[in-house]
Structure 1
């Protein structure tokens, strides 16, 4: 989609997407505080009426952008864990995580920084709590645990407190991505796929299976 398309030729959803893309570009280059709604309007090609029809103010636009990014990442992760082969599923999950950030680096950085920002921190906290209490299956850690449960029950995966599975598996990749976003060298993230996938599997594999692999 070209951000500067004529407003009359763009469907409503395409216009909304163009505004969000323009907001992301402005936030990335100028920062949230220095960006104005007029900056976003000009870059998106929207009229004043159109941009305020979609978003009441800059704060609401920032929230919508965060939600778009979070939902996109969660969807990518959710679709990666559909196999019954655990090791394959873990590798696919880690690769999906890294691939998403490689394809959406600016949006990924925005999502990662949101919880620490003054303008989004409180919203992110409330949203996470709501997801955990009223929409659990929209919460990826819950989905991930649900996928692992049969393997936990039959001993194929080490038994841990429920809250530990997602951070232990995704955590190293998340930290790698934080560092990678500073340089964004494609080769680095490609080379990280196998080691991070192996590390994620080692966290879950019961000691007996690790011994068998070594032998």
Structure 2
């Protein structure tokens, strides 16, 4: 087995461990879930689990980062356009589609900041991306993409910190409620009006 194959195998094992932990954390709870529970569900050896994750807390953090990174990657892709309306509405569509496709991970990410075992970590991470790693802070990146349209008069001139909440806030509230029952038709019905409302909230015209 060459180095690329070993790397792929190692990442596959890591993902299977994370995939096993997610439903356990959501249904059994973080406190009640043990590393042995995760080992049994993933089929990994004890040595393999501790090779990837020092403890349950580090595994929980890694799972949060996986979800956060996955969501942000999707949102960044939506901004690959020079049309402000297409980018803003596409951002809402991408945001809602991600939650529809990853409901369990979405619920985990959505609730992370309010949990005792991840709340402090999430707070520190958010502050770090604001001050040290702005390239990983999506609201900042969104404003940088939006700024030329503001300067051109296509988008309203508003305080920088309100743009992202105006675009994503209603969709975030909807996603939080949708995750309770996960009715597909409700998600389909919500996309267009939420996307159009986001554009109207920022459009200067």
TM-score with structure 1 length normalisation? 0.91
Distance in 1 (CA, whole Å) between partners of 2:30 and 2:60 is: 8
- Quote the residue 2:106 is aligned against: 108
For structure 1, the 5+ residue unaligned runs are 1-7, 210-215
Distance in 1 (CA, whole Å) between partners of 2:88 and 2:26 is: 32
Among 73, 76, 99, which residue is 2:74 paired with?
76
Distance in 2 (CA, whole Å) between partners of 1:85 and 1:39 is: 49
- SS of 2:33 mapped into structure 1: coil
Distance in 1 (CA, whole Å) between partners of 2:156 and 2:164 is: 13
- Quote the residue 1:212 is aligned against: none
Q: Alignment length, in residue pairs?
A: 199
Distance in 1 (CA, whole Å) between partners of 2:182 and 2:70 is: 20
**Displacement of 1:202:** 1.0
TM-score with structure 2 length normalisation? 0.95
Distance in 2 (CA, whole Å) between partners of 1:29 and 1:116 is: 16
- Indicate whether 1:205 and 2:175 are aligned: no
Distance in 2 (CA, whole Å) between partners of 1:86 and 1:161 is: 18
CA RMSD of aligned residues (A): 1.1
- Indicate whether 1:157 and 2:145 are aligned: no
For structure 2, the 5+ residue unaligned runs are 1-5
1:1-215 matches, cutoff 5 A: 11-206=9-204, 209=205
**Displacement of 1:63:** 0.3
**Displacement of 1:131:** 0.8
**Displacement of 1:29:** 1.7
Distance in 2 (CA, whole Å) between partners of 1:85 and 1:56 is: 45
Distance in 2 (CA, whole Å) between partners of 1:156 and 1:137 is: 25
Which 4+ residue blocks in structure 1 deviate beyond 6 angstroms? none
**Displacement of 1:79:** 0.6
